[in-house]
């Protein structure tokens, strides 16, 4: 039997790799996806081989992540429960997709992941696999009673690693867990499990990586211009950039000004509430600027229809249904709505705030002659027409009031 294992080189996945090889008498192929976590990946292949893998893939998926996952989601204006920019959620289907591809090329019978039985990631990995490779077996050690009985805590994992010659660098556990990619960094568990704990307090500032605290941000605002074509940001401050470079550039700009910090209690798909703290500097700027571009160029009814679908689209991403037919149908509608979302948006970044500072487009639907409070030189809008418009819209209200005695 051959198993493809999601591998990071840390204690958990190192132990899982060795445990799977031992329990399943399997050949293990390790896989690590570079989705912008900025961790040192040099030497990971050698470490995987020393741990017991027969082969290790370390694939740079950052460009694909930005172009085919982050940007389509940004075109949809997706944001979960009004706050979360879906940074972890959108990375999982890409990682699982690549695992499925490797499993096919390696003729593996199964894939395995280290997601726990309490979280969302297990669902995201496995729903992606169900959509792309329905016959592929999935092994989730944390949902296996044998694994949990053997490793009730971190000390047992360290002892197992030492006994089996598994190379690890055991260190004092941070008082929270962290997940990083090109779109964001998430922090959860540990001290953050208390929703009253203030993660913005000065004593918590060392936790953050992508952004300075707003209090420590520059006292001078910075202006940034973003050019859009068909809903995608294609240039920043006049410099043409591909999606990966857009995200990297905006992360630096936003982080410098304390942009994109979110502290929320969210509803996990498995049914519980959890508290998460997120840094999404580049994503926050892109989401805001994209909306400003839409406000100038998108038809009202198209915008309102698309907006009504944002909660559903975001829920699908959060719950792991990226490759589900309903998400693909919604994406087709979204992309049709974006055909004319082109132009330039100027924003001002200042101490954690993104402030609209201008919008322009050759396909702007804003007509200053019609909108003006002064005389309309085009005579395109006759204020007398509003009388009948209001009368007709008020008719049912008058009838209802007459019947029900309001």
Structure token pair of residue 342: 């082109």
Q: Is 391 a catalytic residue?
A: no
DSSP 6: E
Query: β-pairing, 110-112 with 55-60?
Result: unpaired
Q: Which one, of 101, 92, 103, lies nearest residue 65 by Cα? A: 92
CA distance 113 to 99: 10
From 62, 75, 92, 306, active-site residue: 92
DSSP 269: T
From 8, 14, 89, 121, active-site residue: 121
Query: β-pairing, 261-267 with 273-279?
Result: antiparallel
Backbone angles phi and psi of 113, in degrees to 5: -135, 165
CA distance 357 to 368: 18
Q: DSSP per residue over 76-110, as a string? A: TT--BTTTB--HHHHHHHHHHHHHHHHHHHHT-SE
Structure token pair of residue 285: 């700027």
Determine if residue 50 is left, alpha or beta; phi over 0 gives left, psi from -120 to 50 gives alpha, anything else beta: alpha
CB 115 within 8 A of CB 48: no
CA distance 110 to 184: 30
Q: Which one, of 148, 154, 11, 33, lies nearest residue 88 by Cα? A: 33
Query: β-pairing, 185-188 with 177-180?
Result: antiparallel
- Output b/e per residue, 224-253; b: 16+ Cβ within 10 A: bbbbbeebbbebbeeeebebbebbbbbbeb
DSSP 199: T
CB 285 within 8 A of CB 260: yes
Helix (H) or strand (E) holding 187: strand 185-188
Q: Is 12 a catalytic residue?
A: yes
From 60, 105, 154, 177, active-site residue: 177
Strand segments (E) across 7-136: 27-34, 55-60, 110-112
- Could you give the residue numbers annotated as active site? 12, 92, 121, 177
């Amino acid at each position: 039997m051959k198993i493809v294992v999601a591998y990071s080189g840390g204690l958990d996945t190192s132990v899982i790799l060795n445990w799977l090889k031992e329990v399943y008498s399997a050949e293990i192929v390790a896989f690590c996806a570079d989705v912008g976590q900025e961790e040192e990946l040099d030497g990971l292949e050698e470490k995987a081989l020393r741990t017991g893998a027969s082969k290790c893939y370390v694939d740079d998926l950052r460009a694909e992540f930005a172009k085919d996952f982050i940007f389509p989601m940004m075109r949809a204006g997706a944001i979960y429960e009004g706050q979360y920019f879906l940074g972890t959620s959108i990375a999982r289907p890409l990682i699982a997709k690549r695992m499925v591809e490797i499993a096919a090329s390696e003729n593996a019978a199964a894939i395995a992941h280290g997601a726990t039985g309490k979280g969302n990631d297990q669902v995201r990995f496995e729903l992606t696999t169900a959509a792309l490779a329905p016959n592929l077996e999935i092994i989730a050690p944390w949902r296996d009673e044998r694994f949990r009985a053997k490793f009730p805590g971190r000390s047992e994992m360290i002892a197992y690693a030492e006994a089996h010659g598994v190379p690890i660098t055991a260190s004092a556990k941070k008082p929270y867990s962290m997940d990083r990619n090109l779109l964001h960094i998430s922090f959860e568990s540990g001290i953050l499990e208390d929703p009253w704990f203030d993660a913005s307090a000065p004593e918590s500032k060392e936790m953050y990586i992508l952004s300075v605290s707003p209090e420590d941000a520059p006292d001078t605002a910075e202006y940034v211009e973003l050019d859009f074509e068909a809903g995608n940001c294609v240039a920043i401050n006049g410099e043409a950039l591909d999606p990966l470079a857009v995200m990297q550039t905006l992360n630096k700009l936003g982080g410098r000004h304390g942009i994109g910090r979110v502290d929320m209690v969210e509803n996990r798909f498995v049914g519980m509430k959890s508290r998460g703290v997120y840094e999404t500097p580049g994503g926050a700027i892109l989401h805001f600027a994209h909306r400003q571009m839409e406000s100038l160029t998108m038809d009202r009814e198209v915008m309102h229809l698309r907006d009504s679908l944002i909660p559903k689209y975001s829920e699908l991403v959060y719950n792991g249904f990226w490759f589900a037919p309903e998400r693909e149908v919604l994406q087709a509608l979204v992309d049709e709505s974006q055909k004319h979302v082109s132009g330039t948006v100027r924003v001002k970044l200042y101490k954690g705030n993104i402030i609209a500072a201008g919008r322009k487009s050759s396909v702007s639907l804003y007509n200053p002659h019609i909108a003006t409070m002064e005389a309309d030189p085009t005579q395109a809008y006759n204020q007398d027409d509003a009388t009948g418009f209001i009368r007709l819209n008020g008719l049912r209200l008058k009838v209802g009031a007459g019947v029900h005695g309001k």
